[in-house]
Chains A and B, each alone.
Chain A
Amino acid sequence: MSHQSFILLAYFIALIGIVSLIVRTFLKHRRLSIELNNLENLGVRPDES
C-alpha cells in the first residue's frame, strides 16, 4: 500500500464514522417524531410540565 492509500483510508474511516452517527441520529429523530404524531392523532396530549 502506498502512503497515499493509508491517508485516504484514514480519512475515509473518520468520515464514515462521523457521517453514520449523524445519519443515525437524524433517522431516529424522524422515527420518534412519526411515533409522536401518531399518538397525537389518536388524541393523546403530551404533559405540558
Chain B
Amino acid sequence: MIPYKLAQPRKLEALLRKVTPLAYGLAVVLFGVGLFYALVSSPEDYQQGQTVRIMYIHVPASWFALMIYGFMGVSSASFLIFRLPLAGLMAQAAAPIGATYCFISLATGSIWGKPMWGTWWVWDARLTSMLILFLMYSGYILLMQSIEDRQRALKVCSMLAVLGLINLPIIKFSVDWWHTLHQPASIFRVNGPSIHVSMLIPLFWMASAYFMIFVALLGHRLQLLLLEMRLRSMQIKFAWQEA
C-alpha cells in the first residue's frame, strides 16, 4: 500500500529527496516560459496598455494564496479529526509558501492599482479580506514559532487554520457581494473566461510555474520538518547519554 508506506517518515523522506529536485527543475523551466509569454509575447491591453502584464504575476499569486490556505485548512482538519501527524506537518510546511504568495499578491496588486486606479490601496472588501488572509498566515507562523511544545503548537495552529477557512469564500465572493474598486472575476466564471485567449496562455504558464514552485518548496520544507524531528530525538538521546 503506497499511502501506508508514505506515512512512514523514512520512506517519505526518500521519495521527497527524489521528487523535490525534479520539481525545482520543472519550476525553473515553467517560470522561464511564463516570463517570456508574460513580458515579451503577450499583447498589450486596449485599455490598460503594457500595465496588463502585472496581471500575469499578480493573479496566479492570488489564486494560489487562496488554494494553499484551503490545502492548509483541510490538512489541519485531517490532523485534528483523524490524528494524522503527516497532515499537520504538511500544513506547517505550506504556511510560509502561502504567506509569500499572499504578500506577492498584495504587493503586485498595489503596484497595479497605482497606475490603474490612481491609488496604492483602498479599504475595499477584496483588498481587506486578502490582507486578513495574510494576517492569518502570519498568525499561524508566529504562533507555531512561539509555542515550545511541538504537539501543542501543531494542535493550536491547526485550530487557527481551520477557523481561517471562513475567510476564503468571503475573498472569492467579495467582489459580488459588495461594491468594490477591484474588478469582478474574469476567469473562474459561470459563463467562462471574459479575457482573450492570447492573455489566457501566459496566465496558464505562470499559474503552472507558481504551482510547481509550491510543489518543490512543499517537498523541501516537509523534508526539513522531518529532519528537525529526527534531530530533536537525537539531541534528547545525546542529552541522556551525557547525563
> Which residues of A come within 8 Å of B, CB atoms?
1, 3-4, 6-7, 9-11, 13-14, 17-18, 21-22, 25-26, 28-29, 32-33, 35-36, 39-40, 42-48
Question: A4 vs B230: C-alpha distance in the bound complex, in angstroms?
Answer: 49
Question: A9 vs B230: C-alpha distance in the bound complex, in angstroms?
Answer: 41
Question: A42 vs B235: C-alpha distance in the bound complex, in angstroms?
Answer: 11
Q: How many A-B residue pairs have CB under 8 A?
A: 91
Chain A residues within 8 Å of B54, by CB: 6-7, 10
Given known A-B contacts A14-B61, A14-B104, A36 and B233 have beta carbons under 8 A apart = no
The one of B35, B220, B237 in contact with A29, judged by C-beta atoms closer than 8 angstroms, is B220
Question: A7 vs B50: C-alpha distance in the bound complex, in angstroms?
Answer: 8
Contact B107 A6 (CB under 8 A): no
B227 at the interface (CB under 8 A from A): yes
> Which residues of B come within 8 Å of A, CB atoms?
10, 24, 35, 39, 49-51, 53-54, 57-58, 61, 96-97, 100, 103-104, 107-108, 111-112, 114-115, 213, 217, 220-221, 223-224, 227-228, 230-231, 233-235, 237-238, 241
B217, B223, B231 interface centre (most CB from chain A within 10 Å): B231
Contact A47 B227 (CB under 8 A): no
The one of B51, B104, B220 in contact with A13, judged by C-beta atoms closer than 8 angstroms, is B104
